[in-house]
């Protein structure tokens, strides 16, 4: 049994953090599903920028769709929805077999809307409707402006992948927003079984403090923050408000580990995946990390429900002058800015391709 199968068998879902038409077309995604226990997929603007920029497989669709759309953004979403519908079909049997717990793909609203609650909600509802797939999450950032949109989208029945979460406090705020949406559905007599995941970004913690902490704390901050968040997650599942909602048919919003590729070339390439093995969670991995874990991964133990030694580790970072509350806000702001940068590069890429195709034809 390979390591990815062992990870899946302890109760963790493995999703691949990538999508290209090549991997859909050449059987790569099917191979990941059949042989590496992959049960879902995530995407973001950077991933689509690389996919469209490096492949000619989108050119015919760009040429065909250009006359029918009013903006580059609309053209992108047409291309992305085609890919994600195709990917969703790959996972449909998993979605059905798990009764909607697993088998998901994700599409992000425009990062330009990160501080616009109403427009984020409108975009989320529109993309969900246009996708026409029950197993497609709409990604909404867990910013202050995103939280009301998460609640409202959940109330509207839109499955949400809450993105750009870095700390326990940010996770709890997102979980509470999701639960408020579910409670409103219960009060309105609607089905409360609306799926959601909350995505905690891990490796960026260690990247942001690299060279600023003692050697014994190197590459330990991301895991410690994840441990602290995992305890909050388990506590939330045990809380009276969630138990009350669950008794009315609500589903748990699963915790998802994101940014689990190792950024330090001197560290293990499976550092975070190995450390964050935990039941009833999702780990979304870059392709290289997924393959590395399949090749030489180990499942030695499970993440402690009580957070393990995270607080002692975090005390060490505090002693080293690291303020994790300030850093969590900074990481969320920088993450949002990074997605905006990638979005603008993606729009420029599509504009450039559109122009070249128009001239050639």
> Which ranges constitute the DSSP H helices of the chain?
3-9, 21-25, 28-36, 45-53, 59-65, 72-97, 117-131, 146-155, 168-187, 203-208, 221-237, 240-247, 271-275, 287-296, 310-319, 324-360
Residue 6 is a catalytic residue: no
Name the 3-class secondary structure at 163. strand
Contact at 8 Å (CB) between 53 and 349? yes
Report how far residue 144's alpha carbon sits from residue 161's, in angstroms, rounded to the nearest whole number. Answer: 16
Give the Å distances, CA to CA, from 44 to 48, 142, 334: 6, 15, 15
- Cα–Cα distance measured from residue 267 to residue 37, given in angstroms and rounded to the nearest whole number: 25
Question: Which of 5, 65, 68, 139 is the catalytic position?
Answer: 139
> How far is Cα 72 from Cα 358, in angstroms, rounded to an integer?
14
Task: Kindly list the catalytic residues.
Answer: 139
């Amino acid at each position: 049994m390979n390591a990815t199968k062992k990870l899946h068998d302890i109760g963790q879902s493995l999703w691949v953090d990538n999508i290209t038409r090549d991997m859909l077309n050449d059987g790569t995604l099917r191979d990941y599903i059949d042989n590496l226990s992959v049960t879902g997929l995530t995407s973001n603007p950077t991933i689509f920028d690389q996919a469209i920029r490096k492949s000619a497989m989108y050119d015919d669709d760009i040429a065909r769709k250009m006359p029918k759309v009013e903006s580059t953004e609309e053209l992108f979403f047409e291309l992305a929805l085609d890919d994600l519908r195709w990917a969703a079909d790959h996972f449909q049997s998993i979605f059905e077999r798990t009764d909607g717990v697993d088998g998901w793909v994700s599409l992000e609203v425009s990062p330009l809307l990160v501080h616009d609650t109403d427009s984020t909600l409108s975009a989320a509802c529109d993309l969900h409707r246009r996708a026409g797939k029950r197993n497609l999450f709409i990604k909404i950032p867990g910013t202050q402006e995103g939280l009301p949109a998460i609640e409202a989208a959940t109330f509207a029945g839109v499955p949400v992948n809450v993105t750009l979460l870095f700390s326990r406090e940010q996770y709890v705020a997102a979980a509470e927003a999701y639960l408020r949406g579910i409670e409103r559905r219960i009060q309105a007599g609607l089905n409360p079984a609306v799926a959601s995941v909350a995505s905690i970004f891990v490796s960026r913690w260690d990247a942001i403090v690299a060279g600023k902490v003692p050697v014994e704390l190197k590459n330990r901050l991301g895991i410690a923050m994840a441990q602290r968040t995992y305890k909050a997650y388990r506590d939330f599942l045990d809380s009276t408000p969630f138990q009350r909602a669950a008794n009315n048919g609500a589903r748990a919003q699963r915790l998802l580990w994101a940014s689990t590729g190792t950024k330090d070339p001197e560290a293990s390439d499976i550092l975070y995946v190995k450390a964050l093995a935990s039941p009833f969670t999702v780990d979304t991995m870059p392709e290289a990390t997924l393959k590395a874990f399949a090749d030489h991964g180990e499942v030695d133990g499970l993440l402690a429900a009580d957070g393990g030694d995270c607080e002692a580790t975090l005390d060490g970072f505090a002693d080293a002058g690291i303020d994790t509350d300030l850093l969590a806000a900074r990481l969320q702001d920088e993450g949002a800015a990074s997605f905006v940068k990638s979005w603008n590069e993606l729009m420029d890429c599509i504009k450039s391709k559109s122009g070249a195709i128009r001239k050639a034809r």
